Amino acid sequence: MLDVFLDVIAPVLVVALVGGQLARHFGLPVGPLSKLSFFLLGPALVFDALSKIEVTGADGARIAAVVMVSYVVTLVVGYGSASVARLDRGLRSAVGLTAATSNGGNMGLPVALLAFGDSGLEVAVLAFVVLSVASNSLGIVVASLAGGSARRALVAPLLVPSLWAAAAGLLVNAYDVEVPTTIEASAATLRGAAIPVMLVVLGLHLSSRPRIRPLTPLGLSLVTRLAVGPLASWAAVEAFDITGVTRNTLILLGGMPTAVVTTIIATQYRVRPDFVTQAVITSTLVSVATVTVLVTSLS
């Protein structure tokens, strides 16, 4: 448990705290960094990963199916439970987003490597890309529903750069297109900056010290993300007859805390970023225990 905290959780918290200190002492605004991540760094990460990953079509399809099943189940459970609790429109979308979007990147990748070695890391990379596409399509639909019409929500994903970056990466990979060195090197450089900037944005949100009085939405988000998530992934891997390291890695990824990228989406679409930030931090801290239990049970 201590190793997981020191190797995975601590780096996330340190970068977030540095971002918070910068905001507190220098008055750095969250808006510009959020837009930089949303429109440039995130798409570069998705394109670079999809254009280089190596996996067979059948295995890739089953991994993608498990990730999508888990995402949809937690999204429906989160949004549905918030509706049953009669939360307002913005909080329903915020609970749905934070319940569905797991941290498959800066936490999921190192945890998968730590728990299952290089084989687990390969599965985690593909799962992360699929999750990125899901969060930047279905997640954007849910975010748009918080403050706009259903028509606007359906069109919103088409305006998200990461979706087009994913399509371009898939085409490059499928047809073995030789990407010019200038573009490849630029995408790789931007990819390296994506996760650190996301964490700085999280720290900037933390500097505002959001206070969430109602505990019900936070509780719904945490239970769905950390308990329903791995259960949904377990049911999916059983249904698709996935075994071995791939099975264990996908279940573990289903139990990751809420992703930092949800703060980017929430800020961009004005979907209760104060609540979303609280959910990210709280779920990350609670996951120190839950992820340890998951790793132990799957090892």
Per-residue pLDDT reduced to its tens digit, 142-188: 887 776 655 666 676 777 788 899 889 989 988 989 999 999 999 99
| Residue 119 reports pLDDT greater than 80 | yes
Question: Binning pLDDT at 50, 70 and 90, where does residue 296 land?
Answer: confident
239-293 residue pLDDT tens: 999 999 999 999 999 999 999 889 888 887 888 888 998 899 899 889 888 998 8
pLDDT of the residue at 182: 95
8 or 59: which leads in pLDDT = 59
Distance CA 228, CA 225 (A): 6
Higher pLDDT, 103 or 19: 103
Which pLDDT band holds residue 208 (cuts at 50, 70, 90)? low
Residue 198 has pLDDT above 90, yes or no: no
User: With b meaning 16 or more CB within 10 Å and e meaning fewer, what string describes 261-276?
Assistant: bbbbbbbbbebbbbbb
Q: Which domain holds residue 152?
A: 2-298
**Number of domains making up the chain:** 1
Give residue-wise pLDDT tens across range 71-108: 999 999 999 999 999 998 889 999 999 999 999 887 88
pLDDT in tens, 40-59: 998 998 899 888 887 777 88
Structure confidence at residue 209 (pLDDT)? 61
Specify the pLDDT at position 225. Answer: 97
Range 28-45 burial, b when 16+ CB lie within 10 A, else e: bebeebbebbbebbbbbb
CA gap 70, 48 in Å, rounded: 24
The CATH number of the domain holding residue 178 is: 1.20.1530.20
Pair 12, 106: CB distance under 8 Å: yes
pLDDT at 13 over 80: no
Q: Which of 12, 119, 136 is nearest to 63 (CA)?
A: 119
